[in-house]
Structure 1
Amino acid sequence: MLQSKFKSYDELPLFLNARTVAQVLGISQAGAYELLHQEGFPVLKIGSRLVVPKEKFLSWIESRTGGNTL
């Protein structure tokens, strides 16, 4: 598993790209792109860019972990 460079959620940017999602979750960038294209994942398309609002990402994590975030 890849190690995240972020030590807390406060360090995350307001909008996450695929690389940042991959770093936070400890997955490959290809895995992050698959996630960004999944139904129900909180992605925002701006032109050809896919970004994830930080707060929506944290809510998505909480909904899948029963609210047990760091």
Structure 2
Amino acid sequence: MPQKRLPRGRVAQTLLVAVIICIANLRAVRRFRRDSAFVPRKKTAAKGSASAAIAQKPVGATEA
């Protein structure tokens, strides 16, 4: 099995490339949000909305 293991330098290089790609993606997302004035929606459901009614329905309850 030791023949199939990557050398330590290769593992470190792979991790470094993964971190570099992650940082590049975060920068691209920040740039997109800044340039497009993107405002994410809040995840809270408004009272009286259909999604709020579904979220408050007890598990196993059936409609009559």
Establish whether TM, by shorter chain, passes 0.5: no
Q: Given the two structures, how large is their TM-score scaled by the length of structure 2? A: 0.27
By percentage of residues, which structure has more helix? 2
Q: Which has the higher contact order (CA 8 A, sep 6+)?
A: 1
Q: Which has a greater percent of strand? A: 1
Rg (Cα) greater in structure: 2
